[in-house]
A = this chain, B = another copy of it.
Amino acid sequence: MKKEKINLLGAGLIGSLLAIYLRKRGLDVAIYEKRQDWRQVDTSGEGRSINMALSYRGWKALERAGIKDKVIPYTQPMYGRRIHDEHGDTFFQPYGKENQAIYSISRNAFNKILLDEAEEQGASIYFQHKVEHVNVAKREVTFSLADGSSKNIAAEVLIGSDGAYSALRNAFQSQLRFNFNQQYVSHGYKELSIPTTPEGDFAMDPNALHIWPRGKFMLIALPNLDKSFTCTLFLPFEGYKVSFENIHDEQDVEQVFKTHFNDAYNLMPTLLQDFKRNPTAALINTECYPWTDNNTLLIGDAAHAMVPFYGQGMNCGFEDCSILDGLVGKYGTSSWDLVFGKFQKGRKPDTDAICQLAMDNFVEMSDNVADPKFLIRKKIEARLHELFPEEWVPLYSMVTFSEMKYSEAYAIGKLQEKVMDRVMSDPLITQNWDSLDYEEILHQVVVAGAV
Protein backbone atom coordinates (compact mmCIF):
# COMPACT_ATOMS: atom_id res chain seq x y z
CA MET A 1 0.00 0.00 0.00
CA LYS A 2 1.18 3.43 -0.87
CA LYS A 3 2.22 5.40 2.18
CA GLU A 4 -0.10 8.39 2.55
CA LYS A 5 1.43 11.79 2.84
CA ILE A 6 -0.16 14.01 5.45
CA ASN A 7 0.03 17.72 4.71
CA LEU A 8 -0.44 20.03 7.65
CA LEU A 9 -1.10 23.74 7.37
CA GLY A 10 0.45 25.62 10.28
CA ALA A 11 3.50 24.76 12.37
CA GLY A 12 2.26 26.27 15.61
CA LEU A 13 1.92 24.31 18.82
CA ILE A 14 -0.90 22.09 17.58
CA GLY A 15 0.53 21.42 14.13
CA SER A 16 3.93 20.56 15.60
CA LEU A 17 2.53 18.15 18.18
CA LEU A 18 0.26 16.52 15.61
CA ALA A 19 3.26 16.05 13.31
CA ILE A 20 5.10 14.22 16.08
CA TYR A 21 2.14 11.90 16.65
CA LEU A 22 1.73 11.16 12.94
CA ARG A 23 5.43 10.55 12.41
CA LYS A 24 5.35 8.05 15.29
CA ARG A 25 2.66 6.24 13.34
CA GLY A 26 5.12 5.99 10.47
CA LEU A 27 3.25 8.42 8.24
CA ASP A 28 4.90 10.89 5.89
CA VAL A 29 4.30 14.39 7.19
CA ALA A 30 4.89 17.79 5.62
CA ILE A 31 4.06 21.02 7.41
CA TYR A 32 3.52 24.30 5.57
CA GLU A 33 3.93 27.43 7.66
CA LYS A 34 3.23 31.04 6.72
CA ARG A 35 5.83 32.64 8.95
CA GLN A 36 9.57 32.36 8.72
CA ASP A 37 11.35 29.89 10.95
CA TRP A 38 10.96 31.57 14.34
CA ARG A 39 13.63 29.34 15.82
CA GLN A 40 16.12 31.69 14.16
CA VAL A 41 14.44 35.06 14.66
CA ASP A 42 13.01 37.01 17.53
CA THR A 43 9.22 37.05 17.28
CA SER A 44 8.39 38.59 20.61
CA GLY A 45 5.98 41.49 20.58
CA GLU A 46 3.82 39.96 17.88
CA GLY A 47 0.75 40.60 19.95
CA ARG A 48 0.05 36.95 20.56
CA SER A 49 -0.12 35.67 24.07
CA ILE A 50 3.47 34.76 24.90
CA ASN A 51 2.81 32.71 28.00
CA MET A 52 0.72 29.59 27.93
CA ALA A 53 -0.73 27.74 30.91
CA LEU A 54 -0.14 24.04 30.44
CA SER A 55 -2.39 21.78 32.47
CA TYR A 56 -3.33 18.12 32.85
CA ARG A 57 -4.79 17.45 29.42
CA GLY A 58 -1.85 19.11 27.74
CA TRP A 59 0.65 17.16 29.81
CA LYS A 60 -1.09 13.87 29.05
CA ALA A 61 -0.99 14.59 25.32
CA LEU A 62 2.72 15.48 25.54
CA GLU A 63 3.37 12.34 27.53
CA ARG A 64 1.68 10.14 24.93
CA ALA A 65 3.74 11.79 22.22
CA GLY A 66 6.87 11.02 24.27
CA ILE A 67 7.88 14.67 24.60
CA LYS A 68 6.83 15.48 28.16
CA ASP A 69 10.26 15.20 29.71
CA LYS A 70 11.75 17.66 27.25
CA VAL A 71 9.10 20.21 28.14
CA ILE A 72 9.24 20.02 31.94
CA PRO A 73 12.42 22.11 32.36
CA TYR A 74 10.80 25.02 30.57
CA THR A 75 7.79 25.29 32.86
CA GLN A 76 7.04 27.16 36.04
CA PRO A 77 4.28 25.73 38.24
CA MET A 78 1.46 27.98 39.46
CA TYR A 79 -0.46 26.41 42.34
CA GLY A 80 -3.22 28.97 42.47
CA ARG A 81 -4.35 32.48 41.84
CA ARG A 82 -2.87 35.30 43.82
CA ILE A 83 -5.51 37.99 43.98
CA HIS A 84 -4.38 41.62 44.28
CA ASP A 85 -6.96 43.98 45.70
CA GLU A 86 -7.12 47.74 45.20
CA HIS A 87 -5.05 48.40 48.32
CA GLY A 88 -2.17 46.21 47.20
CA ASP A 89 -3.13 43.42 49.60
CA THR A 90 -2.99 39.92 48.16
CA PHE A 91 -4.37 36.53 49.02
CA PHE A 92 -3.85 33.11 47.58
CA GLN A 93 -6.55 30.87 46.15
CA PRO A 94 -5.34 27.36 45.34
CA TYR A 95 -6.39 25.91 41.98
CA GLY A 96 -6.91 22.43 43.33
CA LYS A 97 -5.46 20.07 45.87
CA GLU A 98 -1.94 20.34 47.17
CA ASN A 99 0.57 19.87 44.38
CA GLN A 100 -2.00 20.44 41.66
CA ALA A 101 -0.72 23.22 39.46
CA ILE A 102 -0.93 24.72 36.03
CA TYR A 103 2.39 25.46 34.36
CA SER A 104 3.51 28.69 32.77
CA ILE A 105 5.56 28.25 29.61
CA SER A 106 6.71 30.64 26.91
CA ARG A 107 4.88 30.04 23.65
CA ASN A 108 8.04 30.65 21.69
CA ALA A 109 10.24 28.26 23.65
CA PHE A 110 7.50 25.64 23.62
CA ASN A 111 6.97 25.86 19.89
CA LYS A 112 10.71 25.47 19.36
CA ILE A 113 10.82 22.26 21.40
CA LEU A 114 7.88 20.76 19.53
CA LEU A 115 9.06 21.83 16.12
CA ASP A 116 12.59 20.53 16.73
CA GLU A 117 11.09 17.22 17.81
CA ALA A 118 8.80 17.05 14.77
CA GLU A 119 11.77 17.68 12.52
CA GLU A 120 13.89 15.16 14.38
CA GLN A 121 11.15 12.60 13.92
CA GLY A 122 11.30 13.22 10.18
CA ALA A 123 8.58 15.73 9.39
CA SER A 124 9.39 18.13 6.53
CA ILE A 125 8.73 21.74 7.37
CA TYR A 126 8.29 24.44 4.75
CA PHE A 127 8.40 27.96 6.10
CA GLN A 128 7.20 31.15 4.43
CA HIS A 129 4.50 29.23 2.61
CA LYS A 130 1.44 31.43 2.79
CA VAL A 131 -1.82 29.81 1.72
CA GLU A 132 -3.43 31.82 -1.06
CA HIS A 133 -6.14 29.38 -2.04
CA VAL A 134 -7.44 25.95 -1.14
CA ASN A 135 -9.66 23.91 -3.44
CA VAL A 136 -11.28 21.50 -1.00
CA ALA A 137 -12.79 19.20 -3.65
CA LYS A 138 -9.38 18.65 -5.24
CA ARG A 139 -7.35 19.14 -2.06
CA GLU A 140 -5.17 21.55 -3.96
CA VAL A 141 -3.35 24.28 -2.11
CA THR A 142 -1.72 27.30 -3.69
CA PHE A 143 0.99 28.97 -1.61
CA SER A 144 2.80 32.21 -2.17
CA LEU A 145 6.46 32.07 -1.21
CA ALA A 146 8.81 34.69 0.15
CA ASP A 147 10.34 35.39 -3.27
CA GLY A 148 6.92 36.22 -4.69
CA SER A 149 6.58 32.99 -6.61
CA SER A 150 3.73 30.58 -6.04
CA LYS A 151 3.61 26.84 -5.51
CA ASN A 152 0.84 24.28 -5.82
CA ILE A 153 0.43 21.01 -4.02
CA ALA A 154 -2.22 18.33 -4.40
CA ALA A 155 -2.57 16.76 -0.99
CA GLU A 156 -3.64 13.20 -0.24
CA VAL A 157 -4.63 14.24 3.25
CA LEU A 158 -4.84 17.86 4.30
CA ILE A 159 -5.10 19.06 7.89
CA GLY A 160 -5.63 22.66 8.93
CA SER A 161 -3.82 23.27 12.21
CA ASP A 162 -3.58 26.88 11.18
CA GLY A 163 -5.30 28.57 14.06
CA ALA A 164 -8.18 30.93 14.70
CA TYR A 165 -7.92 32.53 11.25
CA SER A 166 -7.46 29.21 9.43
CA ALA A 167 -7.09 29.33 5.66
CA LEU A 168 -8.54 25.84 5.31
CA ARG A 169 -11.58 26.90 7.33
CA ASN A 170 -12.00 29.93 5.07
CA ALA A 171 -12.08 27.56 2.11
CA PHE A 172 -14.65 25.39 3.91
CA GLN A 173 -16.72 28.50 4.49
CA SER A 174 -17.08 29.34 0.84
CA GLN A 175 -16.94 25.83 -0.65
CA LEU A 176 -19.00 23.62 1.66
CA ARG A 177 -22.39 23.69 3.30
CA PHE A 178 -20.59 24.91 6.36
CA ASN A 179 -21.99 26.30 9.58
CA PHE A 180 -19.73 28.93 11.00
CA ASN A 181 -19.90 31.43 13.80
CA GLN A 182 -17.28 33.97 14.76
CA GLN A 183 -17.80 36.26 17.67
CA TYR A 184 -15.55 38.93 19.08
CA VAL A 185 -15.90 39.69 22.75
CA SER A 186 -16.19 43.23 24.03
CA HIS A 187 -12.69 43.15 25.49
CA GLY A 188 -9.25 43.41 23.98
CA TYR A 189 -5.88 42.79 25.55
CA LYS A 190 -2.40 44.17 25.63
CA GLU A 191 0.79 42.57 26.87
CA LEU A 192 3.02 44.29 29.39
CA SER A 193 5.80 43.13 31.65
CA ILE A 194 7.24 43.09 35.12
CA PRO A 195 11.02 42.61 35.06
CA THR A 196 13.12 40.98 37.77
CA THR A 197 14.09 42.95 40.84
CA PRO A 198 17.46 44.74 40.78
CA GLU A 199 18.79 41.66 42.59
CA GLY A 200 17.61 39.45 39.72
CA ASP A 201 14.73 37.84 41.62
CA PHE A 202 11.04 37.41 40.92
CA ALA A 203 9.29 40.64 41.89
CA MET A 204 6.24 38.70 43.18
CA ASP A 205 5.25 35.19 44.27
CA PRO A 206 6.63 33.03 41.42
CA ASN A 207 4.25 30.12 41.94
CA ALA A 208 0.96 31.80 41.24
CA LEU A 209 -1.05 33.31 38.44
CA HIS A 210 -1.52 36.89 39.61
CA ILE A 211 -4.85 38.59 39.07
CA TRP A 212 -5.94 42.15 39.65
CA PRO A 213 -9.71 41.70 39.22
CA ARG A 214 -11.57 44.95 38.75
CA GLY A 215 -15.03 43.95 37.57
CA LYS A 216 -15.22 45.05 33.96
CA PHE A 217 -11.48 44.81 33.47
CA MET A 218 -8.47 43.05 34.90
CA LEU A 219 -4.74 42.61 34.79
CA ILE A 220 -3.07 39.21 35.05
CA ALA A 221 0.59 38.15 35.28
CA LEU A 222 2.33 34.82 34.67
CA PRO A 223 5.87 34.01 35.78
CA ASN A 224 8.66 33.37 33.27
CA LEU A 225 11.73 31.18 33.61
CA ASP A 226 13.96 34.28 33.53
CA LYS A 227 12.13 35.48 36.68
CA SER A 228 10.25 38.23 34.93
CA PHE A 229 6.45 38.24 34.60
CA THR A 230 4.41 38.65 31.47
CA CYS A 231 1.30 40.70 32.19
CA THR A 232 -1.86 40.92 30.18
CA LEU A 233 -4.25 43.82 30.54
CA PHE A 234 -7.86 43.04 29.58
CA LEU A 235 -10.03 46.11 28.98
CA PRO A 236 -13.28 46.73 27.13
CA PHE A 237 -12.61 48.30 23.76
CA GLU A 238 -15.24 50.95 24.42
CA GLY A 239 -18.34 51.88 26.34
CA TYR A 240 -16.75 52.12 29.78
CA LYS A 241 -14.72 54.72 31.59
CA VAL A 242 -11.74 52.39 31.79
CA SER A 243 -11.46 51.16 28.20
CA PHE A 244 -9.01 51.23 25.35
CA GLU A 245 -10.92 54.00 23.61
CA ASN A 246 -10.39 56.26 26.62
CA ILE A 247 -6.65 55.78 26.84
CA HIS A 248 -5.17 58.42 24.58
CA ASP A 249 -1.77 59.19 26.01
CA GLU A 250 0.83 58.27 28.60
CA GLN A 251 -0.99 60.23 31.26
CA ASP A 252 -4.11 58.12 30.75
CA VAL A 253 -2.07 54.92 31.01
CA GLU A 254 -0.44 56.08 34.20
CA GLN A 255 -3.73 57.18 35.66
CA VAL A 256 -5.40 53.82 35.04
CA PHE A 257 -2.46 51.93 36.53
CA LYS A 258 -1.94 54.21 39.51
CA THR A 259 -5.64 54.13 40.33
CA HIS A 260 -6.41 50.47 39.79
CA PHE A 261 -3.16 48.50 39.78
CA ASN A 262 -0.89 50.55 41.96
CA ASP A 263 1.18 47.69 43.38
CA ALA A 264 1.80 46.36 39.87
CA TYR A 265 2.50 49.86 38.56
CA ASN A 266 5.40 50.15 40.98
CA LEU A 267 6.94 47.04 39.43
CA MET A 268 6.53 48.12 35.81
CA PRO A 269 9.34 50.48 34.79
CA THR A 270 8.69 49.88 31.07
CA LEU A 271 4.92 50.28 31.27
CA LEU A 272 4.68 53.29 28.99
CA GLN A 273 6.97 51.84 26.32
CA ASP A 274 5.25 48.45 26.50
CA PHE A 275 1.84 50.02 26.22
CA LYS A 276 2.83 52.01 23.19
CA ARG A 277 4.78 49.30 21.42
CA ASN A 278 2.53 46.31 21.92
CA PRO A 279 -0.60 46.04 19.84
CA THR A 280 -4.09 45.93 21.30
CA ALA A 281 -5.36 42.53 20.29
CA ALA A 282 -8.93 41.32 19.96
CA LEU A 283 -10.40 38.07 21.30
CA ILE A 284 -12.36 35.81 19.02
CA ASN A 285 -14.51 32.76 19.61
CA THR A 286 -15.25 30.58 16.60
CA GLU A 287 -17.40 27.50 16.27
CA CYS A 288 -17.99 25.58 13.08
CA TYR A 289 -19.19 22.35 11.57
CA PRO A 290 -18.32 20.11 9.79
CA TRP A 291 -14.62 19.91 10.57
CA THR A 292 -13.91 17.45 7.81
CA ASP A 293 -14.65 16.94 4.15
CA ASN A 294 -13.01 14.79 1.54
CA ASN A 295 -9.88 13.78 3.51
CA THR A 296 -9.38 17.25 4.94
CA LEU A 297 -9.69 18.19 8.61
CA LEU A 298 -9.68 21.22 10.86
CA ILE A 299 -8.05 20.78 14.27
CA GLY A 300 -7.20 22.95 17.28
CA ASP A 301 -8.09 26.63 17.03
CA ALA A 302 -8.92 26.19 13.35
CA ALA A 303 -11.89 24.09 14.45
CA HIS A 304 -12.72 25.89 17.71
CA ALA A 305 -10.96 29.10 18.69
CA MET A 306 -11.84 30.07 22.23
CA VAL A 307 -11.21 33.07 24.45
CA PRO A 308 -8.33 32.55 26.90
CA PHE A 309 -10.22 32.78 30.18
CA TYR A 310 -10.13 29.10 31.06
CA GLY A 311 -6.52 28.58 29.99
CA GLN A 312 -7.65 25.64 27.84
CA GLY A 313 -7.10 26.68 24.22
CA MET A 314 -3.75 24.95 23.82
CA ASN A 315 -4.60 22.10 26.18
CA CYS A 316 -7.76 21.40 24.20
CA GLY A 317 -5.83 21.48 20.93
CA PHE A 318 -3.26 19.04 22.33
CA GLU A 319 -6.07 16.78 23.48
CA ASP A 320 -7.46 16.97 19.93
CA CYS A 321 -4.14 15.58 18.67
CA SER A 322 -4.08 12.81 21.24
CA ILE A 323 -7.68 11.79 20.47
CA LEU A 324 -7.08 11.87 16.73
CA ASP A 325 -3.98 9.74 17.20
CA GLY A 326 -6.02 7.24 19.22
CA LEU A 327 -8.52 6.98 16.35
CA VAL A 328 -5.71 6.46 13.85
CA GLY A 329 -4.48 3.65 16.09
CA LYS A 330 -7.94 2.15 16.29
CA TYR A 331 -9.16 2.49 12.71
CA GLY A 332 -5.91 2.59 10.77
CA THR A 333 -5.22 4.82 7.82
CA SER A 334 -7.14 3.08 5.08
CA SER A 335 -10.06 5.49 5.41
CA TRP A 336 -9.27 8.98 6.58
CA ASP A 337 -12.89 9.99 6.10
CA LEU A 338 -13.83 7.36 8.66
CA VAL A 339 -11.19 8.52 11.14
CA PHE A 340 -11.94 12.22 10.64
CA GLY A 341 -15.69 11.56 10.79
CA LYS A 342 -15.35 9.74 14.11
CA PHE A 343 -13.12 12.53 15.37
CA GLN A 344 -15.49 15.39 14.61
CA LYS A 345 -18.55 13.54 15.83
CA GLY A 346 -17.00 12.54 19.13
CA ARG A 347 -15.13 15.75 19.79
CA LYS A 348 -17.52 18.52 18.76
CA PRO A 349 -19.75 18.46 21.91
CA ASP A 350 -16.61 18.76 24.02
CA THR A 351 -15.14 21.73 22.21
CA ASP A 352 -18.54 23.45 22.25
CA ALA A 353 -18.57 22.97 26.02
CA ILE A 354 -15.08 24.37 26.62
CA CYS A 355 -15.71 27.33 24.29
CA GLN A 356 -18.76 28.18 26.37
CA LEU A 357 -16.93 27.72 29.67
CA ALA A 358 -14.10 29.94 28.46
CA MET A 359 -16.58 32.64 27.55
CA ASP A 360 -18.34 32.39 30.93
CA ASN A 361 -15.11 32.39 32.91
CA PHE A 362 -14.26 36.00 32.19
CA VAL A 363 -16.84 37.00 34.78
CA GLU A 364 -15.31 34.63 37.33
CA MET A 365 -11.78 35.88 36.76
CA SER A 366 -12.43 39.58 36.53
CA ASP A 367 -15.20 39.94 39.06
CA ASN A 368 -16.17 36.99 41.24
CA VAL A 369 -12.68 36.12 42.48
CA ALA A 370 -12.72 39.33 44.51
CA ASP A 371 -16.19 38.77 45.95
CA PRO A 372 -16.30 37.54 49.58
CA LYS A 373 -19.41 35.45 48.90
CA PHE A 374 -17.71 33.83 45.93
CA LEU A 375 -14.78 32.94 48.17
CA ILE A 376 -17.07 31.26 50.64
CA ARG A 377 -18.66 29.41 47.77
CA LYS A 378 -15.22 28.21 46.72
CA LYS A 379 -14.49 27.16 50.30
CA ILE A 380 -17.70 25.13 50.49
CA GLU A 381 -16.84 23.47 47.20
CA ALA A 382 -13.32 22.75 48.40
CA ARG A 383 -14.73 21.22 51.56
CA LEU A 384 -17.12 19.09 49.53
CA HIS A 385 -14.22 17.91 47.44
CA GLU A 386 -12.20 17.14 50.56
CA LEU A 387 -15.04 15.16 52.11
CA PHE A 388 -16.12 13.41 48.91
CA PRO A 389 -13.08 13.43 46.67
CA GLU A 390 -14.66 11.20 44.04
CA GLU A 391 -18.24 12.46 44.18
CA TRP A 392 -17.74 16.21 44.23
CA VAL A 393 -14.97 17.50 42.01
CA PRO A 394 -15.14 21.24 41.36
CA LEU A 395 -15.73 22.21 37.73
CA TYR A 396 -12.38 23.96 37.50
CA SER A 397 -10.65 20.76 38.61
CA MET A 398 -12.61 18.55 36.21
CA VAL A 399 -11.56 20.82 33.37
CA THR A 400 -8.02 21.52 34.47
CA PHE A 401 -6.85 18.46 36.37
CA SER A 402 -8.59 15.59 34.64
CA GLU A 403 -9.27 14.17 31.20
CA MET A 404 -13.02 13.94 31.76
CA LYS A 405 -14.83 14.91 28.59
CA TYR A 406 -15.40 18.67 28.59
CA SER A 407 -19.07 18.14 27.83
CA GLU A 408 -19.46 15.88 30.84
CA ALA A 409 -17.61 18.33 33.07
CA TYR A 410 -19.88 21.06 31.74
CA ALA A 411 -23.04 19.09 32.54
CA ILE A 412 -21.88 18.16 36.04
CA GLY A 413 -20.78 21.75 36.59
CA LYS A 414 -24.29 22.95 35.75
CA LEU A 415 -25.77 20.60 38.34
CA GLN A 416 -23.28 21.73 40.96
CA GLU A 417 -24.02 25.34 40.12
CA LYS A 418 -27.73 24.82 40.69
CA VAL A 419 -27.15 23.16 44.03
CA MET A 420 -24.61 25.77 45.10
CA ASP A 421 -26.96 28.59 44.12
CA ARG A 422 -29.46 27.08 46.51
CA VAL A 423 -26.86 26.67 49.26
CA MET A 424 -25.68 30.25 48.79
CA SER A 425 -29.21 31.65 48.93
CA ASP A 426 -29.14 31.12 52.69
CA PRO A 427 -28.80 34.69 54.03
CA LEU A 428 -26.66 33.46 56.93
CA ILE A 429 -24.28 31.51 54.75
CA THR A 430 -21.26 33.68 55.59
CA GLN A 431 -21.64 32.67 59.21
CA ASN A 432 -22.73 29.07 59.02
CA TRP A 433 -20.96 27.72 55.95
CA ASP A 434 -18.66 25.72 58.13
CA SER A 435 -21.48 23.77 59.75
CA LEU A 436 -23.58 22.85 56.69
CA ASP A 437 -24.88 19.36 56.14
CA TYR A 438 -22.37 18.52 53.45
CA GLU A 439 -23.67 15.05 52.87
CA GLU A 440 -27.09 16.48 52.11
CA ILE A 441 -25.58 18.93 49.60
CA LEU A 442 -23.82 16.13 47.80
CA HIS A 443 -27.08 14.18 47.79
CA GLN A 444 -28.82 17.02 45.93
CA VAL A 445 -26.36 16.72 43.07
CA VAL A 446 -26.77 12.98 42.94
CA VAL A 447 -30.55 13.33 42.82
CA ALA A 448 -30.46 16.14 40.26
CA GLY A 449 -28.10 14.10 38.10
CA ALA A 450 -30.47 11.17 38.19
CA VAL A 451 -33.50 13.01 36.85
Rounded to whole Å, the gap between the CB of A7 and the closest CB of chain B is: 23
Stretch at the interface among A177-185, A312-320, A429-437: A177-185
Q: Does A173 belong to the interface (CB within 8 Å)?
A: yes
Q: A322: shortest Cβ distance to chain B, in Å?
A: 30
| Residue in A170, A182, A184 with the greatest tally of chain B CB atoms within 10 Å | A182
Contacting B at CB under 8 A, from A145-193, are 165, 170, 173-174, 177-184
Complex Cα gap A182–B170 (Å): 12
Complexed CA–CA distance, A170 and B177 (Å):
16
Question: Are B182 and A282 in touch, CB under 8 angstroms?
Answer: no
Shortest C-beta distance, A378 to chain B (Å), equals 33
**Chain A: interface residue total (CB-CB under 8 A):** 14
Chain B contacts of A183 at CB under 8 A? 179, 181
A184 to B180, CA, bound (A): 9
The yes or no answer to A237 lying at the interface (CB within 8 A) is yes
Partner of A180, one of B177, B180, B237, B282: B180
Once the chains bind, are A179 and B174 in contact (CB under 8 Å)? no
> How far, in whole Å, are A184 and B170 apart by their CA atoms in the complex?
16
**A277 shortest CB reach to chain B, Å:** 21
Chain A 218-244 against B: per-residue CB contact (8 Å), 1 yes, 0 no?
Answer: 000000000000000000010000000
Across the interface, do A282 and B177 meet the contact criterion of CB distance under 8 Å?
A: yes
Q: How far is the CA of A247 from the CA of B237 in the complex (A)?
A: 52
Give every chain B residue within 8 A of A237 (Cβ-Cβ).
Answer: 177
The reply to whether A184 and B174 form a contact with Cβ atoms under 8 Å apart is no
Q: Contact at B180–A181, with CB atoms within 8 Å?
A: yes
Q: Is the CB of B184 within 8 A of A177?
A: yes
Report whether A182 and B184 are in contact in the complex, using a CB–CB cutoff of 8 Å. no
> Which of these, B165, B178, B282, contacts A184 with CB under 8 Å?
B178
Contact check, B179 vs A179: say whether CB atoms are below 8 A apart: no
Closest to A176 in B: B184
CB-defined contacts of A173 to chain B, threshold 8 Å: 182
In the bound complex, what is the Cα–Cα distance between A170 and B184 (angstroms)?
16
Q: A177, A179, A237 — which one has the most chain B CB atoms within 10 A of its CB?
A: A177
Q: How distant is the Cα of A265 from the Cα of B380 in the complex, in angstroms?
A: 69
16 contacts between A and B (CB under 8 A): A165-B174, A170-B174, A173-B182, A177-B184, A177-B237, A177-B282, A178-B182, A178-B184, A179-B183, A179-B184, A180-B180, A180-B181, A180-B182, A181-B181, A181-B182, A181-B183
Query: CB within 8 Å of B: which residues of A?
Result: 165, 170, 173-174, 177-184, 237, 282
Give 6 A-B pairs besides A177-B282, A180-B180 with Cβ atoms closer than 8 angstroms. A165-B174, A170-B174, A177-B184, A179-B184, A181-B182, A181-B183
